[in-house]
Structure 1
Amino acid sequence: MNVHFIAIGGAAMHNLALALHHQGHTVTGSDDAIHDPSRSRLEAAGLLPDTLGWNPNRIHTGLDKVILGMHAHPDNPELAQASALDIKVVSYPEYLYQAAIDKQRVVVGGSHGKTSITAMLLHVMHRLGRTPDFMVGAQLTGFDRMVQITDAPDMLLEGDEYLSSPVDRTPKFHWYRPHLTILTGIAWDHINVFPNPDFYREQFCEYLRNVEPNGTVVWCEEDDELARAVTTILPERPDIHWVPYDTPDFSMENGTLQVRIDGVTTPLQLVGTHNALNLAGAMKLAEAWGVSNADFLGAVQDFKGAAGRLERACDMPEKRCTVFRDFAHAPSKVKATTNSVRDQFGDRKLIAILELHTFSSLNPEFLPTYAGALDAADEAWVCYSPSVLEHKRLPPLDVDTVRAAFQRDDLRVLDDHGALLEATKSAAGPDSVFLLMSSGRFGGKNLEEAIDVTVRGL
C-alpha cells in the first residue's frame, strides 16, 4: 500500500506512520511543524519530510490512501488535491477501526486517565506473554512504536473523544465500537467543539450505544456525570455487562503507593494516589479480558507509567527536591494530579505550575471550570502566551480574569515564558516538589533543567 499522511508530526499520526512503514508499506508525509520526539523518530525511519509545509504535488494517483490528521485545516491544499484525484481520505481512528474490524477491540475511554490505563494494560499483557495490537497516546519504555498492527486477535485502543479530523467531526472513539471498554469519568472539555456539558456527555452516551452486542463496560461509579450517562443507556442496552469500580484501599509507605486488593497488599512504582483508582479500573477490564486479579497485580508492580504522565523529570534526593512533568491540562486532570502529588509528598513544599495552552483552557467562558483545581498546592502559578491566544483567535486574557477563574487570591499569573523561567529559578530550592503541567512546551523553556541546575548549586 502507498499511503500519505497529512499532518504526520502528531503523536498518534507519526506512530501510525512508523507502524505502516514497519509493515513494509510505502509511507510519505507532510506537516507545517514537527517537534521532538516525532521529528527524531521520523528522521530515523527515513520518513521526515524534506521540507515543512503543504505541497499538493505530494498527492498523486499512485497513492492508495491519504490519512488526514486533526492538525490540518479543512482548506489544506494537499487535502484538496486528494479530493480532486478521488483518492480515499480517512482519519487515523477510521483507519485503525478498519485494521481491527475482525479483531476483539478493547478500548479505554473517559475524560482522564486514558493513557495511563491503556499503558498499564499493555504493560501487563506483555508481562504475561500476550501481544495484542495497540494504539497508545504516549511513549512507553521498551516499545519502539506506540501503534502496532499485526495479525493478533485483539487490539487495545486509547479512545479519545475529540474530533477525528478536520473533515470528519465524529469523535474518535465513536469509530472503535468496542467489545470490551472502560470509561473513567466525564468532565466537560473541548469547548470549541462541545459547547456545553450536556452535549459533551451525549458523546459518551453515543459511544455506549455503539458497544458491540453483549459487550462489557467497566465504569467508575464515583463519577456523577458518568453515572448519569450509564443510567441513560442502561435501559437501551440490557445486553451489556456493566462492571462498576471504585477506589481500592491504598496507603503511602515511605513514599511508595501501595494498594490492598483481595487481601493482598501490592507496592507500586507509580506516583500519584489517583493511580490507585486507575489501577482498579484497569484490573476490572483485564479481568474481562481473561486476566486474573493475581496475575494482574503480579505483572503491574514494575510499571512506571507513561511518558508525560507524572513523569519524574529530575530528582535530587540529597536535596529532597523533585520535578514532575504531566500532560494535565483539563480541570479534572489538573485537580487530580495536584491532589495526588500533595498526598504523596505531604512533607514538602508543592509548587504547581500550569500552562494554559489548549483552546478550552484559554477560553474565558471555560476558565471558571478551573475553580479550586490548584488549591492543594502551597504555591500555584498559571502561565500563558499572548501569541498562542492570537494564533487560536481568542480575545486577550488579563491577569485578574485568570485569578478570579481559579478562585485563588494568591495565584501567580505570568503571561511571559521568559519571566516564568526566571521566577522558577528564584523559587527553586530544597525540600520542594515542582509539578509542571501542560499539553504544550512552556514556550520552549526548559524549566526542569533550570530547577536542577539551581538546586544542585545551593
Structure 2
Amino acid sequence: MPQAIHFISVGGSAMHNLALALQHQGYIITGSDNQIYEPSRTRLKQHSLLPDELGWFPEKITTDLDGIIVGMHAHKDNPELIKALELGLPIYSYPEFIYQQSQQKQRVVIAGSHGKTTITAMILHVMAYHKRLFDYWIGDEIDGFDATVKLTPDAPVIIIEGDEYASSPIDARPKFLHYQPHIALISGIAWDHINIYPTWDQYVDQFESLAEAMPKAGILIFDESDDMLDVIGQKDRPDITKIPYVAHPSEIVNGQTYLITKQGHKLPLQIFGDHNMKNVSGALTVCNRIGVTEDQFYEAITSFKGVAQRLEKVAENGLRILYRDFAHSPAKVEATTEAVKRQYLDRKLLAVLELYTLSSLNKVFLDQYRGTLEAADEAVVYFDAKTIQNMSISVEDIAEAFDKPNLQILTNTEDLTAYLLQKRNSDQVFLLMSSGTFSGLNLNEVSKELIQ
C-alpha cells in the first residue's frame, strides 16, 4: 500500500516540487498552506494537489498518515504541526526526507554563500547531456529540467544544492547538515542571513560543521582563493580527501569568454565572469569524482546557458544591453558588477542594486557593501520607501556605507524607470541586481523602451 504523506506549507518552492516528485513515485500526497502563489498554485492544481481552501486544518492530521513534511513557512505554533506532535507522527524537514530517500545513493552536496545554484546546475547539465542516471535537488528551476527535485529508486547518485538556512520551525540546524554527503563542495563564505546568524563567527561555524561532519573517505572540495575556506580546508583531517580549486583559465575576446583547456583549446562559453570561472572549475572537479571525464565535461559545458536571473541577458540591440541578476549579498554584488564590467570594458556600465533582504536593510550589516559597486561607471541603490519606514536606516546611512561617488539613491519605481530611460543615450550596459522585483517594476516594458 502506498505511503501517505502530508505537507504542512505545501505552497513553498521546495515543498511543492517535493510533493509533486513524491506523487510521481506513487505516494498519496495531501497538503495545507495559508498562502500559495504562482507558479506553485498552478502546478499543484494541475496535479490535483491544490488544497480546497487556504488555512490550517488539524483534522487533516490523523494516524492514517505515514509521515509529515513541514516547511519553513510554517511556525512552531502551527495547529497541524501541534497535532502531529501530539499524535507522535514521524515529522521531517524536506532535507531530512531527501536524506531518508537517498541513503543508498552517493550523495553530493554543493554549499557556499554564493555560486551553489550555478555549480549544481552545471553538474546537472553535464550529467543530463551525457544521459547519466541521477537524482537531484536544486533551489531554482533550470533550463532543460521540468522540476527542481527528482527522487527515484534506481539512480546511484544524487546531486543536492545545500543551503545554510534552518531546516524547519522545530529544527534550527542548517539544511546541508542533514544530507551527510560523501562529496561536499563549498564555493565560498561571505557573511549573509544576518537575521539568522547575527555574527560572522556564527555564520562561519555552519560551514565548519559541514566540513567536520564529512565521513571517513569523504571528499571535500573548496575554493582555494577564499581565505576562510582555505583555513577550513587545510584543517587536519587525514581521513578525508581535500581538493582545492581556483578559477578555470579563460580569456575574453571581443566580448566572448573562452575556456582554455590544458591542451590549449579555446571553448566558447555562454556565461562569463571570474566567479563563473570558479564555478566551472568546481563543477569540473565534482564531475571528475563521479565518473565524468574532462573531455566529456568540456563537450557539455559549452551549451550551458546559466541559471535564470544569474547574469541573465534580458535584451540587446547591438548598442545597448540589459542584464538582470539575483545578486543581493555584498560578495555577489561585487562579483557580478566586476564580471559585467570586465566583459564590456569599452562600454559604460550602469549598475542598479535593490536593497530588499532583511540583511541588506540592516544598519549593522550595511557597511559590508562598501566598495561593492566600484566597478560600475554609474550606480543606483534602490529601496522601497515604504519598507525603510520600518527599518532603522536612512538615505544618508546608505550613501555613507556604499561610499560610491555620485551614487543615486531612489525609492520608487517611477523614479527608477525615469532615471534608466534618461540614461539610455549615454550608457550602453545596464545591470539590475535584486532578489526582489524593484517593487513590481515591469522589466519587459522597461527593456523595450531602454534597449529598442
TM over 0.5: yes
**Structure 1 residues 299 and 28: CA distance shift in structure 2, 3 A:** same
Percent of counterpart pairs with the same letter?
46
Distance in 2 (CA, whole Å) between partners of 1:308 and 1:247 is: 22
Larger CA deviation: 32-41 vs 64-73 = 32-41
User: Does structure 1 residue 207 correspond to structure 2 residue 203?
Assistant: no
What is the number of residues matched between the two proteins? 448
Corresponding letter in the other structure for 2:268: P
1:133 matches 2:135: yes
Task: Report the 3-state secondary structure (helix = DSSP H, G, I; strand = E; otherwise coil) of the residue aligned with 2:363.
Answer: coil
Cα pair distance change 1:41/1:347, threshold 3 Å: farther
Is it true that 1:437 corresponds to 2:438 in the alignment? no
1:105 corresponding residue in structure 2: 107
Secondary structure of 2:126's aligned partner: helix
Q: Aligned partner of 1:330: which letter?
A: S
What is the match of residue 173 of structure 1? 176
Map 1:385-400 to 2 at 5 A: 385-388=384-387, 395-400=391-396
Offset of 1:387 from its aligned partner? 4.4
Aligned residue for 1:61? 63
- Using the TM superposition, give the Cα deviation of residue 159 of structure 1 relative to its aligned residue in structure 2, in angstroms: 1.1
Quick one: which amino acid aligns to residue 166 of structure 1?
P
The offset of 1:113, in angstroms, is 0.3
Q: Distance in 2 between matches of 1:255 and 1:70?
A: 42
Question: Are 2:114 and 1:115 aligned?
Answer: no
1:169, CA displacement in angstroms?
0.4
1:305 is the counterpart of 2:301? no
Query: Per-residue deviation at 1:429?
Result: 4.7
Does structure 2 retain, via aligned residues, the 8 Å contact 1:180–1:289? Answer: no
CA offset digits 1:16-55 (Å, max 9, x no partner): 1221122122223333333333333233323233333434
Aligned partner of 1:248 in structure 2 is 248
Counterpart for residue 372 of structure 1: 371
CA distance in 2 between partners of 1:242 and 1:287 (Å): 14
Task: Tell me the equivalent position of 1:270.
Answer: 271
Runs of at least 5 residues in structure 1 that lack an aligned partner in the other structure: none
Could you tell me which amino acid in structure 2 is paired with residue 211 of structure 1?
M
Superimposed CA distance per residue, residues 253-310 of structure 1 (whole angstroms, 9 cap, x where no aligned partner): 2322111121222211114342111101111111111221111111111010122211
Letter in 2 for 1:435: L
Q: Equivalent residue for 2:289?
A: 288
Aligned partners of 2:41 and 2:313: how far apart in 1?
23
Q: Which residue of 2 aligns with 1:93?
A: 95
TM-score, with length taken from structure 2: 0.93
Q: Distance in 1 between matches of 2:182 and 2:373?
A: 37
8 A Cα contact 2:360 2:366, kept in partner: yes
Equivalent residues of 1:201, 1:229 under 8 A apart:
no
Question: Retained in 2: the 8 A contact 1:323–1:448?
Answer: no
Structure 1 CA distance for aligned equivalents of residues 239 and 54 of structure 2: 50
Match among 24, 28, 31 for residue 26 of structure 1: 28
The residue that corresponds to 2:357 in the other structure is 358
Assess, with a 3 A threshold, how the Cα gap between structure 1 residues 423 and 75 changes in structure 2: closer, same or farther: farther
**Alpha-carbon displacement from aligned partner over 1:83-131 (angstroms, at most 9, x marks no partner):** 2333322111111111111110011111110000000001001111212
Give the counterpart of 2:199 among 178, 186, 196: 196
**1:175-229 deviation digits (Å, cap 9, x = unpaired):** 1111112111111111122121122111111101111210111111100011122
Shift of 1:149: 0.2
Tell whether 2:346 aligns with 1:347. Answer: yes
**Residue 383 of structure 2: aligned partner:** 384
The Cα of 1:407 is off from its aligned counterpart by 1.6
Give, in whole Å, the separation in 1 of the partners of 2:152 and 2:340: 38
Structure 2 residue runs without a partner (length 5+): none
Q: What corresponds to 2:52 in structure 1?
A: 50
Task: Tell me if the contact between 1:429 and 1:455 (Cα under 8 Å) persists in the aligned partners.
Answer: no
Does the 8 Å CA contact 1:21/1:27 hold for their aligned counterparts? Answer: yes
- Residues 23, 415 of structure 1: alpha-carbon distance in 2 compared, 3 angstrom cutoff: same
2:111 touches 2:176 (CA, 8 Å); kept in 1?
A: yes
Give the Cα separation in 2 of the matches to 1:449 and 1:213: 55
CA 1:95–1:60 in structure 2 vs 1: closer, same or farther (change >3 Å)?
same
Seen in structure 2, the aligned counterparts of structure 1 residues 102 and 408 have a Cα distance that, compared at 3 Å, is same
For 2:379 and 2:427, the matched residues in 1 are separated by 17
| Partner secondary structure for residue 108 of structure 1 | strand
Give me the whole-angstrom Cα distance separating, in 2, the residues matched to 1:255 and 1:377. 17
Q: Aligned to 2:244, what secondary structure does the other structure show? A: strand
Q: 1:39 maps to which residue?
A: 41
1:337 aligns with 2:336: yes
Distance 1:291 1:162 in 2: 30
Deviation at 1:430? 7.5
User: Which segment is superposed worse, 193-202 or 364-373?
Assistant: 193-202
CA contact under 8 A between 1:272 and 1:310: conserved in structure 2? Answer: no
Deviates more, 1:143-152 or 1:268-277: 268-277
What is the rounded CA distance, in whole Å, between the counterparts of 1:380 and 1:415 in structure 2? 14
Distance in 2 between residues matched to 1:77 and 1:417, nearest whole Å: 39
| Matching residue's letter, 2:97 | Y
Residue 6 of structure 2 corresponds to which residue in structure 1?
4
Whether the aligned pair in 2 keeps the contact of 1:249 and 1:259 (CA below 8 Å) is yes
Shift in CA distance, 257/37, structure 1 to aligned 2, threshold 3 Å:
farther
Once superposed, which parts of structure 1, at least 4 consecutive aligned residues long, lie more than 6 Å away? none
CA distance in 2, matches of 1:290, 1:139: 25
Distance 1:399 1:389 in 2: 9
| Alpha-carbon distance, 1:431 to partner | 5.4
For the residue of structure 2 that corresponds to 1:366, the secondary structure is: helix
| Partners of 2:416 and 2:51 in 1: CA distance | 34
Contact 1:257–1:273 under 8 Å retained in 2: no
Aligned mates of 2:82, 2:193 — CA distance in 1: 27
